[in-house]
Amino acid sequence: MNVNHAIRYRKSVRKFLNKPVPRQLIEQVLDTSRWAPSGGNCQPWRVEVVTGKALDRVSSSILSAREQGRKPLPDLEYYPEAWTSPYRERRFNCGIALYSAMGIKRGDAQARQEAWLQNYRFFNASSAMFFFMPQSLGIGFLMDMGIFIQTVALAAMEAGLATCIQASLAEYPDIVRDILQVSDEFMLVCGMSIGYEDIEADVNRFRTSRAELEEFVSWHK
């Protein structure tokens, strides 16, 4: 697999086989990913790999918080308060296409809610990663985190693993920090479900589109 292929065909998998991933395979992915670039080579990332009972506990605790009506309080506000064009339309179209792939009609609020809750069940994956960075570092280091997380996703693809990068898994950072015993000196950036893709699942046939170069590239001489 070459880099061009990996970038073009990486996708967010939303249904995994409940098949354990060998620890050495995840270590291989992270060993490759640690060579991602960062400002001043500061390497701000901290990764918590979660499986088994710990994964179940994180999942049940977040689902319980939502059932109790606890408002999410992420360390990082990922989405804007107000959407503007063209981002509003892109997000809307993505949602419509995703729910359509799952056979969920636009007005079926209950089915949509249940589909969203699968985020906190890690889409049936047997492993997950949580990505932290020090609270003390500036916002610019979030760029480094993004580079690192994308590198993990690409390295996982080469290793025969599928991933889903999830901002949703960072909605209750205190729960995650408490269960994983991570100091509150660290900001939870996002989570990632990782494992083996269920290739029979309709939702995994869903692919997002991309804007053409003319929409976001300007040339200067």
Residue numbers of the domain that contains 24: 8-76+120-206
How confident is the model over 2-42, as pLDDT tens digits? Answer: 889 999 999 999 999 989 999 999 999 999 999 999 999 99
Please name the residue that has the structure tokens 């609020």: 109
Q: Please indicate, yes or no, if residue 211 is contained in any of the structural domains.
A: no
Enter the tokens of residue 143: 């760029």
Tell me whether residue 112 is in a domain. Answer: no
Distance CA 58, CA 177 (A): 10
Q: Note whether residue 81 is domain-resident.
A: no
Q: Name the domain count of the chain.
A: 1
Which pLDDT tens digit goes with each residue over 86-123? 999 999 999 888 888 888 888 888 988 898 999 999 99
How many degrees, rounded to 5, is the angle at CA 143 between CA 139 and CA 149?
125
Whether residue 87 is contained in a domain is answered as: no
Give the separation between CA 94 and CA 203, rounded to whole angstroms: 13
SS3 of 153, please? Answer: helix
pLDDT of residue 105: 83
- Predicted TM-score (pTM) above 0.75: yes
Classify residue 139: in a domain, yes or no.
yes
Q: What CATH number does the domain containing 59 carry?
A: 3.40.109.10
